Structure 1
Amino acid sequence: MERLQKVIANAGITSRRKAEQLIIDGRVRVNHQIVKELGTKVSFQDIVEVDDIPIEKQTKSHTFLFYKPRGVISSVKDEKDRKTVTSFFEDFDYRLYPVGRLDYDTSGLILMTNDGDLANGLMHPRNKVDKVYVAKIAGFLTKDEIRQLQKGVVIDGKKTSPAKVKVISSDSKKKTSIVRLTIHEGRNHQVKNMFKAVGHPVDKLSREQYAFLDQTSLVSGKYRELSRQEVAQLKELIVK
């Protein structure tokens, strides 16, 4: 007999802590009955379902690189019934979850996986996994503003970690610039808030690289499954 949350986590659906929340939220059934008791134990003979999908259909790990379009929510469900990243994977017979988030109006690369340990490892701040964004901003960055972004700016009372900044181009007529920003943090609206902190609101934003993975061969709304080698490389980025 094993604790229910451990069985769910071992199936690669999500982390044990998030599995506990799934149970509390009433999204887990044992033998077709909703179970909300965290101390519940189950055996291999019991039928365990998460969101009405038996976990035995989710035991093999899958990780996809997905090019999220603008106007799509980076979550499993949305209270406003807007399109979510999981809606692009509805025909699969296993559940996938987004690794972190991209804003509703931000396009670009996001990982989708049913490997809870991989997801949590990649999102943990200590592992400092680089994400590369390209932003169209208002105005032109000065050398001092670039240095501020590189050293870190204060957002909500907390300084951001050092970033890499490169101005790709500037449009003197439209008074806009295209800037590449590399960070490893994942705070809410971080890229937009960083540029806002130095006086340059973001007009358009896209994530073009996640760790060593880039958007080559992908267009908006499309995805590809990562190879075993790519998954192994991602796991090498995670501190044990």
Structure 2
Amino acid sequence: MAKERLDKVLGNYGLGSRSDVKKEIYQGCVTVNGQIIKDPGFKVSLDDVIVYYEEVLERKEFYYFMMNKAPDCITATEDPKEKTVMDYLSSRHQNMNLFPVGRLDKETEGLLLFTTDGTLAHYYTSPKHFVEKEYYAEISDEVTVDDIKQFEHGIVLDDGYKTLPARLAIPNPGNPKVVTVWLKEGKYRQIRRMFQSLGKEVLYLKRVKMGNLVLDPNLTLGSYRELTPEEETLLKLR
């Protein structure tokens, strides 16, 4: 990775605006490899040890977080009227240039990935790659074997679009209103519209998996955390 300006690195780490971190650099609050650096334009690499006040910065080329999205916000970086998923991030993480990967409808809960890695985000959202997402859903009426077959063949939505083949399963035969859905595309409100085409309504929807990444069951609604190294590896498996 090419060297970057010290003020840019501190800003991307979420320590404040570029002007804020410049002031702190001028004041001698930052050391690089044990030396006080007062030049905001000083170039640093990932191998350099940067200390901000007394905090050693654990730097990475890219950052990855998972959130258990709450149903009271939209998936957007900003909106003049609606609460967004970004409002759940701490001010420090909001300053790290994180952005959500893909989209969940406002009413939908579950796994939402945040990153600074544009290449990975493109892979997960591009229709060319068919990354599978898994959902838990509660339906208004009993799901039938015929419904499962229709999902397998693709369903014509209200706008005439026919979806790609999708998988639908009933984990507990004794409760055919609770299902698991697997999709390899992500049209607007797709699962809700697929069931609507079958004369049924989705009452509750939660994404639990994207590719190889599984939602941490310990995350409460609206909470988030950085991925573990093992999860990062799973995320990048193709």
Alignment TM-score > 0.5, same fold:
yes
| 1:102 paired to 2:111 | no
What does the per-residue CA deviation read over 1:163-192, in whole Å, with 9 as the maximum and x for residues that have no partner?
1111134788xxx71111011111110110
Aligned positions of 1:219-230 closer than 5 A:
219-230=220-231
RMSD of aligned alpha carbons: 2.9
Distance (Å, rounded) in 1 between the aligned partners of 2:172 and 2:179:
7
Aligned residues of 2:148 and 2:167 also touching (Cα < 8 A) = no
Q: Partner amino acid for 2:71?
A: R
Q: Secondary structure at the match of 1:119?
A: helix
Q: Which has the larger radius of gyration?
A: 2
Distance (Å, rounded) in 2 between the aligned partners of 1:152 and 1:98:
28
Aligned positions of 1:108-147 closer than 5 A:
108-147=110-149
In the alignment, structure 1 segments of 5+ residues that lack a partner are 1-11, 13-44, 46-57
Deviation at 1:60, TM superposition (A): 3.5
Deviation at 1:229, TM superposition (A): 4.2
| 1:199 paired to 2:202 | no
Aligned residues of 2:213 and 2:235 also touching (Cα < 8 A) = no
Aligned positions of 1:1-240 closer than 5 A:
60-80=61-81, 82-89=82-89, 90-92=91-93, 93-155=95-157, 156-169=159-172, 177-216=177-216, 217-237=218-238
Distance (Å, rounded) in 1 between the aligned partners of 2:152 and 2:80:
37
Aligned residues of 1:139 and 1:177 also touching (Cα < 8 A) = yes
Partner of 2:48: none
Distance (Å, rounded) in 2 between the aligned partners of 1:142 and 1:235:
36
Distance (Å, rounded) in 1 between the aligned partners of 2:184 and 2:85:
22
Greater fraction strand? 1
Q: Partner amino acid for 1:225?
A: E
- Range with bigger deviation, 210-219 or 152-161: 210-219
Aligned residues of 2:140 and 2:202 also touching (Cα < 8 A) = yes
Distance (Å, rounded) in 1 between the aligned partners of 2:228 and 2:156:
39
Distance (Å, rounded) in 2 between the aligned partners of 1:77 and 1:110:
16
What does the per-residue CA deviation read over 1:125-146, in whole Å, with 9 as the maximum and x for residues that have no partner?
1211111111111111222121
Distance (Å, rounded) in 2 between the aligned partners of 1:170 and 1:221:
31
Distance (Å, rounded) in 2 between the aligned partners of 1:84 and 1:146:
34
Q: Secondary structure at the match of 1:91?
A: helix
Deviation at 1:152, TM superposition (A): 0.9
What does the per-residue CA deviation read over 1:58-109, in whole Å, with 9 as the maximum and x for residues that have no partner?
98410111110111111001131x2211122232241211101101111000
Q: Secondary structure at the match of 1:159?
A: coil
Count residues with an aligned counterpart: 183
Q: TM-score of the superposition, structure 1-length normalised?
A: 0.68
Distance (Å, rounded) in 2 between the aligned partners of 1:149 and 1:236:
27
In the alignment, structure 2 segments of 5+ residues that lack a partner are 1-11, 13-40, 42-58
